[in-house]
Structure 1
Amino acid sequence: MNGLVEGKSSVVTGGAQGIGLAIGRRLAQNGARVVLVDVDQARAEAAAKELSGETGAKVIGLGCDVTSEDAVHAAAITTVDRFGALDIWVNNAGITRDASLRKMSVSDFEAVMNVHLKGTWLGVRHASAIMREAGSGVIVNMSSLSGKSGNPGQSNYSAAKAGVVGLTKSAAKELAHRGVRVNAVQPGLIRTAMTEAMPPDVFAAREADIPMKRAGTPDEVAGTVLFLASDLSSYVTGAVIEVGGGRYM
Protein backbone atom coordinates (compact mmCIF):
# COMPACT_ATOMS: atom_id res chain seq x y z
CA MET A 1 0.00 0.00 0.00
CA ASN A 2 1.39 3.37 -1.03
CA GLY A 3 1.72 6.19 1.48
CA LEU A 4 -0.19 9.46 1.30
CA VAL A 5 2.83 11.32 -0.14
CA GLU A 6 4.44 8.45 -2.01
CA GLY A 7 7.30 9.59 -4.27
CA LYS A 8 7.09 13.23 -3.22
CA SER A 9 10.15 15.31 -2.37
CA SER A 10 9.85 17.36 0.80
CA VAL A 11 11.71 19.87 2.95
CA VAL A 12 11.12 20.47 6.66
CA THR A 13 12.89 23.44 8.23
CA GLY A 14 13.81 23.13 11.89
CA GLY A 15 13.65 19.43 11.17
CA ALA A 16 16.34 18.06 13.48
CA GLN A 17 14.19 17.80 16.60
CA GLY A 18 10.77 18.26 18.19
CA ILE A 19 7.80 18.96 15.95
CA GLY A 20 9.96 19.29 12.85
CA LEU A 21 11.46 15.83 13.31
CA ALA A 22 7.99 14.37 13.92
CA ILE A 23 6.80 15.94 10.64
CA GLY A 24 9.79 14.55 8.78
CA ARG A 25 9.07 11.11 10.25
CA ARG A 26 5.41 11.18 9.17
CA LEU A 27 6.35 12.24 5.64
CA ALA A 28 9.02 9.53 5.39
CA GLN A 29 6.64 6.88 6.74
CA ASN A 30 4.19 7.85 4.03
CA GLY A 31 6.59 7.48 1.13
CA ALA A 32 8.20 10.91 0.77
CA ARG A 33 11.85 11.68 0.27
CA VAL A 34 12.77 14.12 3.03
CA VAL A 35 15.30 16.91 3.50
CA LEU A 36 15.67 17.90 7.15
CA VAL A 37 16.92 21.47 7.26
CA ASP A 38 18.33 22.90 10.48
CA VAL A 39 20.69 25.64 11.60
CA ASP A 40 22.66 22.87 13.34
CA GLN A 41 24.00 20.84 10.41
CA ALA A 42 25.46 18.02 12.54
CA ARG A 43 22.14 17.54 14.30
CA ALA A 44 20.28 17.60 10.97
CA GLU A 45 22.57 14.93 9.53
CA ALA A 46 22.21 12.75 12.63
CA ALA A 47 18.42 13.07 12.55
CA ALA A 48 18.38 12.21 8.83
CA LYS A 49 20.45 9.08 9.46
CA GLU A 50 18.07 8.07 12.26
CA LEU A 51 14.95 8.56 10.13
CA SER A 52 16.44 6.82 7.12
CA GLY A 53 17.31 3.76 9.20
CA GLU A 54 13.93 3.78 10.91
CA THR A 55 11.76 4.16 7.81
CA GLY A 56 13.90 3.03 4.90
CA ALA A 57 13.14 6.33 3.16
CA LYS A 58 15.66 8.59 1.48
CA VAL A 59 16.39 11.29 4.06
CA ILE A 60 19.19 13.86 4.03
CA GLY A 61 20.15 16.56 6.52
CA LEU A 62 21.22 20.06 5.50
CA GLY A 63 22.57 22.98 7.48
CA CYS A 64 20.59 26.14 6.77
CA ASP A 65 19.98 29.49 8.45
CA VAL A 66 16.41 30.28 7.42
CA THR A 67 17.03 34.02 7.83
CA SER A 68 19.57 33.90 4.98
CA GLU A 69 18.08 34.13 1.51
CA ASP A 70 21.12 32.48 -0.06
CA ALA A 71 20.90 29.56 2.38
CA VAL A 72 17.17 29.01 1.81
CA HIS A 73 17.60 29.22 -1.95
CA ALA A 74 20.46 26.70 -1.74
CA ALA A 75 18.32 24.29 0.29
CA ALA A 76 15.57 24.43 -2.34
CA ILE A 77 17.99 23.92 -5.23
CA THR A 78 19.82 21.10 -3.44
CA THR A 79 16.51 19.29 -2.91
CA VAL A 80 15.76 19.44 -6.64
CA ASP A 81 19.31 18.36 -7.49
CA ARG A 82 19.19 15.38 -5.11
CA PHE A 83 15.59 14.26 -5.52
CA GLY A 84 14.55 15.65 -8.91
CA ALA A 85 11.66 17.78 -7.64
CA LEU A 86 10.33 19.89 -4.79
CA ASP A 87 6.75 18.97 -3.94
CA ILE A 88 6.31 19.81 -0.24
CA TRP A 89 7.90 22.56 1.85
CA VAL A 90 7.18 22.88 5.58
CA ASN A 91 8.25 26.12 7.29
CA ASN A 92 8.69 24.92 10.87
CA ALA A 93 11.93 26.50 12.12
CA GLY A 94 11.47 28.66 15.20
CA ILE A 95 13.01 30.14 18.34
CA THR A 96 11.74 31.93 21.44
CA ARG A 97 13.19 34.92 23.29
CA ASP A 98 10.55 35.63 25.92
CA ALA A 99 10.36 38.82 27.97
CA SER A 100 7.87 41.52 28.85
CA LEU A 101 7.50 44.52 26.54
CA ARG A 102 9.39 46.60 29.07
CA LYS A 103 12.31 44.18 29.36
CA MET A 104 12.57 42.70 25.86
CA SER A 105 15.61 43.86 23.91
CA VAL A 106 15.23 45.04 20.34
CA SER A 107 17.68 42.34 19.27
CA ASP A 108 15.50 39.62 20.82
CA PHE A 109 12.42 41.05 19.10
CA GLU A 110 14.23 41.09 15.77
CA ALA A 111 15.71 37.61 16.20
CA VAL A 112 12.29 36.01 16.70
CA MET A 113 10.67 38.00 13.88
CA ASN A 114 13.52 37.11 11.53
CA VAL A 115 13.39 33.36 12.13
CA HIS A 116 9.62 32.96 12.22
CA LEU A 117 8.34 35.56 9.79
CA LYS A 118 11.22 36.41 7.48
CA GLY A 119 12.31 32.75 7.49
CA THR A 120 8.82 31.61 6.55
CA TRP A 121 8.56 34.29 3.85
CA LEU A 122 11.89 33.19 2.36
CA GLY A 123 10.75 29.56 2.41
CA VAL A 124 7.49 30.43 0.66
CA ARG A 125 9.33 32.62 -1.84
CA HIS A 126 11.93 30.06 -2.92
CA ALA A 127 9.78 26.94 -2.70
CA SER A 128 7.00 28.56 -4.70
CA ALA A 129 9.41 29.73 -7.40
CA ILE A 130 10.15 26.07 -8.16
CA MET A 131 6.58 24.87 -7.63
CA ARG A 132 5.08 27.53 -9.92
CA GLU A 133 7.13 26.22 -12.82
CA ALA A 134 6.12 22.64 -12.04
CA GLY A 135 2.44 23.61 -11.81
CA SER A 136 1.99 21.91 -8.44
CA GLY A 137 3.22 21.89 -4.89
CA VAL A 138 2.26 22.30 -1.25
CA ILE A 139 3.60 24.72 1.36
CA VAL A 140 2.69 24.37 5.04
CA ASN A 141 3.55 27.19 7.44
CA MET A 142 3.77 26.73 11.19
CA SER A 143 1.87 29.40 13.09
CA SER A 144 0.73 29.05 16.72
CA LEU A 145 -2.34 29.64 18.85
CA SER A 146 -0.30 32.43 20.46
CA GLY A 147 -0.64 34.20 17.12
CA LYS A 148 -4.41 34.06 17.60
CA SER A 149 -4.69 34.90 21.29
CA GLY A 150 -1.45 36.67 22.14
CA ASN A 151 0.69 35.49 25.05
CA PRO A 152 2.04 37.79 27.76
CA GLY A 153 5.82 37.87 27.56
CA GLN A 154 5.75 36.84 23.90
CA SER A 155 4.99 40.01 21.97
CA ASN A 156 7.69 39.06 19.46
CA TYR A 157 6.57 35.43 19.04
CA SER A 158 2.83 36.21 18.99
CA ALA A 159 3.33 38.99 16.43
CA ALA A 160 5.45 36.76 14.21
CA LYS A 161 2.98 33.87 14.37
CA ALA A 162 0.06 36.20 13.56
CA GLY A 163 2.11 37.46 10.63
CA VAL A 164 2.52 33.90 9.37
CA VAL A 165 -1.28 33.68 9.04
CA GLY A 166 -1.41 36.82 6.90
CA LEU A 167 1.51 35.62 4.81
CA THR A 168 -0.17 32.24 4.29
CA LYS A 169 -3.41 33.76 3.03
CA SER A 170 -1.64 36.26 0.77
CA ALA A 171 0.61 33.60 -0.76
CA ALA A 172 -2.32 31.20 -1.18
CA LYS A 173 -4.16 33.82 -3.24
CA GLU A 174 -1.09 34.54 -5.37
CA LEU A 175 -0.26 30.91 -6.07
CA ALA A 176 -3.61 29.10 -6.37
CA HIS A 177 -3.87 29.61 -10.12
CA ARG A 178 -0.44 28.02 -10.54
CA GLY A 179 -1.48 24.82 -8.75
CA VAL A 180 0.38 25.61 -5.52
CA ARG A 181 -1.48 25.32 -2.19
CA VAL A 182 -0.41 27.22 0.94
CA ASN A 183 -1.85 26.47 4.38
CA ALA A 184 -0.95 27.02 8.02
CA VAL A 185 -1.11 25.00 11.23
CA GLN A 186 -1.59 26.57 14.66
CA PRO A 187 -0.42 24.23 17.43
CA GLY A 188 -1.43 24.89 21.00
CA LEU A 189 0.26 23.37 24.05
CA ILE A 190 2.42 20.53 22.68
CA ARG A 191 4.74 18.30 24.71
CA THR A 192 8.21 19.21 23.49
CA ALA A 193 11.56 19.73 25.24
CA MET A 194 10.76 23.44 25.37
CA THR A 195 7.34 23.14 27.02
CA GLU A 196 8.43 20.36 29.36
CA ALA A 197 11.07 22.74 30.75
CA MET A 198 8.19 24.86 32.11
CA PRO A 199 7.52 24.69 35.88
CA PRO A 200 5.16 21.73 36.48
CA ASP A 201 2.49 23.90 38.10
CA VAL A 202 2.46 26.29 35.13
CA PHE A 203 2.23 23.40 32.66
CA ALA A 204 -0.61 21.83 34.67
CA ALA A 205 -2.50 25.13 34.78
CA ARG A 206 -2.28 25.49 31.01
CA GLU A 207 -3.45 21.91 30.48
CA ALA A 208 -6.44 22.60 32.73
CA ASP A 209 -7.53 25.41 30.39
CA ILE A 210 -7.73 23.03 27.42
CA PRO A 211 -11.18 21.46 26.79
CA MET A 212 -9.54 18.10 26.05
CA LYS A 213 -7.61 18.42 29.35
CA ARG A 214 -4.23 17.41 27.96
CA ALA A 215 -1.32 18.68 25.96
CA GLY A 216 -0.84 17.47 22.42
CA THR A 217 2.07 15.53 20.97
CA PRO A 218 4.42 16.44 18.12
CA ASP A 219 3.00 13.49 16.18
CA GLU A 220 -0.50 14.98 16.39
CA VAL A 221 0.80 18.16 14.78
CA ALA A 222 2.65 16.07 12.20
CA GLY A 223 -0.56 14.24 11.28
CA THR A 224 -2.23 17.53 10.40
CA VAL A 225 0.76 18.58 8.31
CA LEU A 226 0.64 15.23 6.50
CA PHE A 227 -3.04 15.82 5.70
CA LEU A 228 -2.26 19.26 4.26
CA ALA A 229 0.72 17.90 2.32
CA SER A 230 -1.30 15.10 0.75
CA ASP A 231 -4.03 14.95 -1.88
CA LEU A 232 -6.58 14.40 0.91
CA SER A 233 -6.57 18.22 1.14
CA SER A 234 -6.47 18.88 -2.62
CA TYR A 235 -9.18 21.58 -2.41
CA VAL A 236 -7.76 23.27 0.71
CA THR A 237 -5.67 26.43 0.43
CA GLY A 238 -5.34 29.54 2.56
CA ALA A 239 -6.62 27.57 5.56
CA VAL A 240 -5.42 27.79 9.16
CA ILE A 241 -5.95 24.59 11.13
CA GLU A 242 -5.80 24.74 14.93
CA VAL A 243 -4.23 21.76 16.68
CA GLY A 244 -4.87 22.75 20.26
CA GLY A 245 -7.41 20.44 21.86
CA GLY A 246 -10.10 23.13 21.60
CA ARG A 247 -8.14 25.87 23.35
CA TYR A 248 -9.18 29.41 22.33
CA MET A 249 -12.05 28.18 20.14
Structure 2
Amino acid sequence: MTLEGKVAFITGAASGIGLATAKAFADAGARVVGADMSDEALSREFSAIPGSLAIALDVTSSAAVNDAFGKLDAEFGRLDVVINAAGINAPSKAANDKLVDTNVQAFRAARDGEEFFPDFLGDITDDDFRRVLEVNLFGPFYVMRAAAPLLKRTGGGAIVNVSSSAALLGVPMPLYYPASKAGVLGMTRAAAAELAPFNITVNAIAPGAVDTPLFRQQPEEITGMLIGMQPIKRPATPEEIAATMVFLSSAAGAYYTGQTLSPSGGLHM
Protein backbone atom coordinates (compact mmCIF):
# COMPACT_ATOMS: atom_id res chain seq x y z
CA MET A 1 0.00 0.00 0.00
CA THR A 2 1.31 3.42 -0.92
CA LEU A 3 0.58 6.91 0.34
CA GLU A 4 2.98 8.53 -2.10
CA GLY A 5 2.34 12.25 -2.51
CA LYS A 6 -0.15 12.38 0.37
CA VAL A 7 0.02 14.82 3.28
CA ALA A 8 -1.04 13.41 6.66
CA PHE A 9 -1.80 15.25 9.91
CA ILE A 10 -1.35 13.11 13.04
CA THR A 11 -2.09 14.10 16.62
CA GLY A 12 -0.45 12.37 19.56
CA ALA A 13 2.53 11.93 17.26
CA ALA A 14 5.35 12.03 19.81
CA SER A 15 4.89 8.50 21.18
CA GLY A 16 2.95 5.25 21.06
CA ILE A 17 0.39 4.69 18.32
CA GLY A 18 0.74 8.22 16.95
CA LEU A 19 4.51 7.97 16.51
CA ALA A 20 4.33 4.49 14.99
CA THR A 21 1.70 5.77 12.56
CA ALA A 22 3.83 8.76 11.59
CA LYS A 23 6.76 6.46 10.78
CA ALA A 24 4.54 4.03 8.86
CA PHE A 25 3.06 6.87 6.81
CA ALA A 26 6.49 8.25 6.01
CA ASP A 27 7.65 4.78 4.96
CA ALA A 28 4.59 4.58 2.67
CA GLY A 29 5.59 7.82 0.96
CA ALA A 30 3.49 10.42 2.79
CA ARG A 31 4.67 13.76 4.07
CA VAL A 32 3.76 13.86 7.75
CA VAL A 33 2.68 16.71 9.99
CA GLY A 34 2.99 15.57 13.61
CA ALA A 35 1.24 17.37 16.45
CA ASP A 36 1.67 16.75 20.17
CA MET A 37 1.74 18.56 23.50
CA SER A 38 5.20 17.16 24.21
CA ASP A 39 7.17 19.59 22.09
CA GLU A 40 10.61 18.26 23.07
CA ALA A 41 9.77 14.60 22.37
CA LEU A 42 8.00 15.56 19.14
CA SER A 43 10.98 17.54 17.84
CA ARG A 44 13.37 14.72 18.77
CA GLU A 45 11.35 11.98 17.10
CA PHE A 46 10.42 13.94 13.99
CA SER A 47 13.99 15.00 13.29
CA ALA A 48 14.46 11.47 11.95
CA ILE A 49 11.41 11.59 9.65
CA PRO A 50 12.37 13.18 6.30
CA GLY A 51 10.14 15.94 4.95
CA SER A 52 8.04 16.08 8.10
CA LEU A 53 6.71 19.06 10.05
CA ALA A 54 6.38 19.05 13.85
CA ILE A 55 3.82 21.32 15.53
CA ALA A 56 3.44 21.68 19.30
CA LEU A 57 -0.30 21.47 19.89
CA ASP A 58 -2.83 21.23 22.71
CA VAL A 59 -5.87 19.71 20.99
CA THR A 60 -8.19 21.09 23.67
CA SER A 61 -7.70 24.58 22.20
CA SER A 62 -9.78 25.09 19.07
CA ALA A 63 -7.81 28.23 18.24
CA ALA A 64 -4.52 26.31 18.44
CA VAL A 65 -5.95 23.55 16.25
CA ASN A 66 -7.06 26.08 13.63
CA ASP A 67 -3.62 27.67 13.72
CA ALA A 68 -1.93 24.27 13.23
CA PHE A 69 -3.92 23.62 10.08
CA GLY A 70 -3.02 27.09 8.86
CA LYS A 71 0.67 26.18 9.23
CA LEU A 72 0.09 22.88 7.43
CA ASP A 73 -1.67 24.64 4.56
CA ALA A 74 1.09 27.22 4.24
CA GLU A 75 3.77 24.51 4.17
CA PHE A 76 2.15 21.88 1.93
CA GLY A 77 -0.93 23.43 0.32
CA ARG A 78 -2.99 20.24 0.63
CA LEU A 79 -4.28 17.69 3.12
CA ASP A 80 -5.12 14.05 2.44
CA VAL A 81 -5.23 12.18 5.75
CA VAL A 82 -6.07 13.01 9.37
CA ILE A 83 -5.25 10.68 12.27
CA ASN A 84 -6.71 11.59 15.67
CA ALA A 85 -4.42 9.62 17.99
CA ALA A 86 -4.04 12.08 20.88
CA GLY A 87 -5.73 10.90 24.06
CA ILE A 88 -5.47 10.31 27.80
CA ASN A 89 -6.81 7.54 30.03
CA ALA A 90 -7.00 9.66 33.19
CA PRO A 91 -7.20 13.41 33.88
CA SER A 92 -4.06 13.58 36.06
CA LYS A 93 -1.22 11.50 37.46
CA ALA A 94 -2.97 11.35 40.82
CA ALA A 95 -6.15 10.02 39.20
CA ASN A 96 -4.15 7.48 37.20
CA ASP A 97 -2.27 6.31 40.30
CA LYS A 98 -5.56 5.85 42.14
CA LEU A 99 -7.01 3.94 39.18
CA VAL A 100 -4.00 1.62 39.11
CA ASP A 101 -4.30 1.00 42.86
CA THR A 102 -8.03 0.22 42.53
CA ASN A 103 -7.39 -2.15 39.64
CA VAL A 104 -4.70 -3.96 41.62
CA GLN A 105 -7.12 -4.36 44.53
CA ALA A 106 -9.78 -5.72 42.18
CA PHE A 107 -7.33 -8.16 40.60
CA ARG A 108 -6.15 -9.47 43.97
CA ALA A 109 -9.70 -9.80 45.26
CA ALA A 110 -10.69 -11.82 42.19
CA ARG A 111 -7.58 -13.97 42.53
CA ASP A 112 -8.33 -14.66 46.20
CA GLY A 113 -12.05 -15.25 45.69
CA GLU A 114 -13.03 -12.13 47.62
CA GLU A 115 -15.58 -9.46 46.83
CA PHE A 116 -14.47 -5.96 45.85
CA PHE A 117 -16.75 -3.15 44.72
CA PRO A 118 -15.01 -0.03 43.34
CA ASP A 119 -16.90 3.26 43.48
CA PHE A 120 -15.71 4.86 40.23
CA LEU A 121 -19.00 6.69 39.71
CA GLY A 122 -18.97 8.50 43.04
CA ASP A 123 -15.26 9.24 42.93
CA ILE A 124 -15.15 11.28 39.70
CA THR A 125 -15.13 15.05 40.04
CA ASP A 126 -16.69 17.42 37.53
CA ASP A 127 -13.24 18.67 36.54
CA ASP A 128 -11.90 15.15 36.01
CA PHE A 129 -14.80 14.20 33.75
CA ARG A 130 -14.54 17.45 31.81
CA ARG A 131 -10.76 17.18 31.32
CA VAL A 132 -10.86 13.71 29.74
CA LEU A 133 -13.70 14.67 27.41
CA GLU A 134 -11.84 17.83 26.40
CA VAL A 135 -8.86 15.80 25.23
CA ASN A 136 -10.50 12.61 23.94
CA LEU A 137 -13.72 14.00 22.44
CA PHE A 138 -13.50 17.76 21.97
CA GLY A 139 -9.97 17.43 20.54
CA PRO A 140 -10.94 15.11 17.66
CA PHE A 141 -13.98 17.31 16.98
CA TYR A 142 -11.82 20.45 16.71
CA VAL A 143 -9.40 18.61 14.42
CA MET A 144 -12.10 17.21 12.10
CA ARG A 145 -13.84 20.58 11.89
CA ALA A 146 -10.60 22.34 10.94
CA ALA A 147 -9.50 19.59 8.54
CA ALA A 148 -12.71 19.18 6.54
CA PRO A 149 -12.34 22.30 4.34
CA LEU A 150 -8.78 21.33 3.41
CA LEU A 151 -9.75 17.74 2.62
CA LYS A 152 -12.62 18.98 0.46
CA ARG A 153 -10.30 21.33 -1.39
CA THR A 154 -7.91 18.45 -2.07
CA GLY A 155 -10.79 16.47 -3.54
CA GLY A 156 -11.12 13.83 -0.85
CA GLY A 157 -9.17 11.99 1.78
CA ALA A 158 -9.42 9.93 4.94
CA ILE A 159 -9.94 10.55 8.63
CA VAL A 160 -9.19 7.86 11.23
CA ASN A 161 -10.15 8.41 14.86
CA VAL A 162 -8.67 6.40 17.71
CA SER A 163 -11.32 5.09 20.07
CA SER A 164 -10.90 2.10 22.39
CA SER A 165 -12.32 -1.34 23.06
CA ALA A 166 -13.54 0.29 26.29
CA ALA A 167 -16.19 2.00 24.14
CA LEU A 168 -17.50 -1.40 23.03
CA LEU A 169 -17.44 -3.35 26.30
CA GLY A 170 -19.08 -2.98 29.70
CA VAL A 171 -16.49 -3.29 32.47
CA PRO A 172 -16.05 -1.25 35.67
CA MET A 173 -13.78 1.74 35.07
CA PRO A 174 -13.92 5.52 35.49
CA LEU A 175 -16.82 6.64 33.33
CA TYR A 176 -14.98 9.50 31.66
CA TYR A 177 -12.86 7.16 29.55
CA PRO A 178 -15.53 4.95 27.90
CA ALA A 179 -17.82 7.97 27.62
CA SER A 180 -15.20 9.91 25.67
CA LYS A 181 -14.24 6.98 23.46
CA ALA A 182 -17.87 6.03 22.73
CA GLY A 183 -18.49 9.65 21.77
CA VAL A 184 -15.69 9.36 19.21
CA LEU A 185 -17.56 6.47 17.56
CA GLY A 186 -20.75 8.52 17.31
CA MET A 187 -18.88 11.45 15.78
CA THR A 188 -17.15 9.09 13.36
CA ARG A 189 -20.42 7.72 11.99
CA ALA A 190 -22.05 11.13 11.69
CA ALA A 191 -19.02 12.69 9.99
CA ALA A 192 -18.75 9.70 7.64
CA ALA A 193 -22.32 10.25 6.45
CA GLU A 194 -21.79 13.98 5.99
CA LEU A 195 -18.44 13.83 4.22
CA ALA A 196 -18.99 10.84 1.92
CA PRO A 197 -20.28 13.05 -0.96
CA PHE A 198 -16.90 14.82 -0.88
CA ASN A 199 -14.92 11.57 -1.27
CA ILE A 200 -13.81 11.72 2.38
CA THR A 201 -13.93 8.53 4.43
CA VAL A 202 -14.18 8.63 8.22
CA ASN A 203 -13.44 5.52 10.28
CA ALA A 204 -12.40 4.60 13.79
CA ILE A 205 -10.23 1.99 15.40
CA ALA A 206 -10.89 0.55 18.86
CA PRO A 207 -7.71 -1.17 20.07
CA GLY A 208 -7.36 -3.42 23.07
CA ALA A 209 -4.03 -3.71 24.90
CA VAL A 210 -1.22 -2.01 22.98
CA ASP A 211 2.44 -2.16 24.03
CA THR A 212 3.00 1.57 24.45
CA PRO A 213 5.09 3.38 27.10
CA LEU A 214 1.88 4.07 29.04
CA PHE A 215 0.95 0.37 28.96
CA ARG A 216 4.39 -0.65 30.22
CA GLN A 217 4.09 1.76 33.16
CA GLN A 218 1.22 -0.28 34.57
CA PRO A 219 1.89 -3.00 37.17
CA GLU A 220 2.40 -6.48 35.72
CA GLU A 221 -0.73 -7.64 37.51
CA ILE A 222 -2.80 -5.16 35.50
CA THR A 223 -1.17 -5.73 32.12
CA GLY A 224 -1.46 -9.47 32.67
CA MET A 225 -5.15 -9.12 33.52
CA LEU A 226 -5.82 -7.03 30.39
CA ILE A 227 -4.00 -9.46 28.12
CA GLY A 228 -5.74 -12.35 29.84
CA MET A 229 -9.12 -11.01 28.70
CA GLN A 230 -8.07 -11.38 25.06
CA PRO A 231 -8.10 -14.64 23.08
CA ILE A 232 -4.73 -13.60 21.61
CA LYS A 233 -2.57 -13.51 24.73
CA ARG A 234 -0.28 -10.61 23.96
CA PRO A 235 -0.58 -6.86 23.47
CA ALA A 236 -0.53 -5.40 19.98
CA THR A 237 2.56 -3.55 18.90
CA PRO A 238 2.06 0.10 17.95
CA GLU A 239 3.26 -0.87 14.48
CA GLU A 240 0.38 -3.33 14.10
CA ILE A 241 -2.10 -0.59 14.90
CA ALA A 242 -0.28 1.76 12.51
CA ALA A 243 -0.69 -0.80 9.73
CA THR A 244 -4.45 -0.57 10.17
CA MET A 245 -4.18 3.22 9.91
CA VAL A 246 -2.25 2.92 6.65
CA PHE A 247 -4.86 0.54 5.23
CA LEU A 248 -7.80 2.80 6.09
CA SER A 249 -5.97 5.82 4.64
CA SER A 250 -4.93 4.15 1.39
CA ALA A 251 -6.77 3.23 -1.81
CA ALA A 252 -7.16 -0.30 -0.41
CA GLY A 253 -9.46 1.06 2.32
CA ALA A 254 -11.39 3.52 0.19
CA TYR A 255 -14.70 1.61 0.44
CA TYR A 256 -14.72 1.65 4.26
CA THR A 257 -16.50 4.53 5.95
CA GLY A 258 -18.34 4.94 9.24
CA GLN A 259 -16.74 1.71 10.43
CA THR A 260 -15.07 0.74 13.70
CA LEU A 261 -12.22 -1.75 13.35
CA SER A 262 -11.12 -3.32 16.62
CA PRO A 263 -7.56 -4.64 16.52
CA SER A 264 -7.95 -6.04 20.03
CA GLY A 265 -6.71 -9.60 19.92
CA GLY A 266 -10.33 -10.78 19.91
CA LEU A 267 -11.30 -8.84 23.04
CA HIS A 268 -14.22 -7.49 21.02
CA MET A 269 -15.66 -9.65 18.27
Instruction: Indicate the SS of the match to 1:214.
Output: coil
Aligned partner of 1:93 in structure 2 is 86
TM-score, structure 1 length as denominator? Answer: 0.93
Aligned partner of 2:173 in structure 1 is 153
- Aligned-residue identity in percent: 36
Instruction: Indicate the SS of the match to 1:90.
Output: strand
Return the letter of the residue paired with 1:216: A
CA gap 1:150/1:67 in 2 versus in 1, 3 angstroms = farther
- Residues 6-60 of structure 1 deviation map (CA, whole Å, 9 limit, x = unaligned): 110011101001111001010001000001100122222111103x2xxxx3112
Aligned partner of 1:120 in structure 2 is 140
| One of 200, 204, 207 as aligned partner of 1:180 | 200
Are 1:139 and 2:159 matched, yes or no?
Answer: yes
Instruction: Indicate the SS of the match to 2:33.
Output: strand
Report the Cα distance in structure 2 between the residues aligned to 1:243 and 1:206, rounded to whole angstroms.
Answer: 14
CA drift of 1:151 comes to 4.0
CA drift of 1:131 comes to 1.1
Are 1:16 and 2:36 matched, yes or no?
Answer: no
Is the CA contact (8 Å cut-off) linking 1:6 and 1:30 kept in structure 2?
yes
- 1:1-249 alignment runs, 5 A limit: 4-50=2-48, 52=49, 57-97=50-90, 98=96, 100-249=120-269
Return the letter of the residue paired with 2:239: D
- Residues 47-91 of structure 1 deviation map (CA, whole Å, 9 limit, x = unaligned): 1103x2xxxx31121111111111111111211211221111101
Is the CA contact (8 Å cut-off) linking 2:124 and 2:174 kept in structure 1?
no
Report the Cα distance in structure 2 between the residues aligned to 1:5 and 1:150, rounded to whole angstroms.
Answer: 37
Report the Cα distance in structure 1 between the residues aligned to 2:87 and 2:148, rounded to whole angstroms.
Answer: 20
Relative contact order (C-alpha < 8 Å, sep 6+): which is higher?
Answer: 2
Instruction: Indicate the SS of the match to 1:101.
Output: helix
Aligned partner of 2:110 in structure 1 is none
Is the CA contact (8 Å cut-off) linking 1:9 and 1:79 kept in structure 2?
no
Is the CA contact (8 Å cut-off) linking 1:38 and 1:93 kept in structure 2?
yes
Instruction: Indicate the SS of the match to 1:107.
Output: helix
CA drift of 1:181 comes to 0.8
Any unmatched runs of 5+ in structure 1? none
Instruction: Indicate the SS of the match to 2:124.
Output: coil
Report the Cα distance in structure 1 between the residues aligned to 2:170 and 2:20, rounded to whole angstroms.
Answer: 26
Runs ≥4 residues deviating over 6 A: none
Instruction: Indicate the SS of the match to 1:149.
Output: coil
Report the Cα distance in structure 1 between the residues aligned to 2:66 and 2:171, rounded to whole angstroms.
Answer: 32
CA drift of 1:117 comes to 0.4
Report the Cα distance in structure 2 between the residues aligned to 1:45 and 1:115, rounded to whole angstroms.
Answer: 21
Any unmatched runs of 5+ in structure 2? 91-95, 100-119
Report the Cα distance in structure 2 between the residues aligned to 1:148 and 1:87, rounded to whole angstroms.
Answer: 29
Return the letter of the residue paired with 1:228: L
Return the letter of the residue paired with 1:171: A
Report the Cα distance in structure 2 between the residues aligned to 1:4 and 1:207, rounded to whole angstroms.
Answer: 32
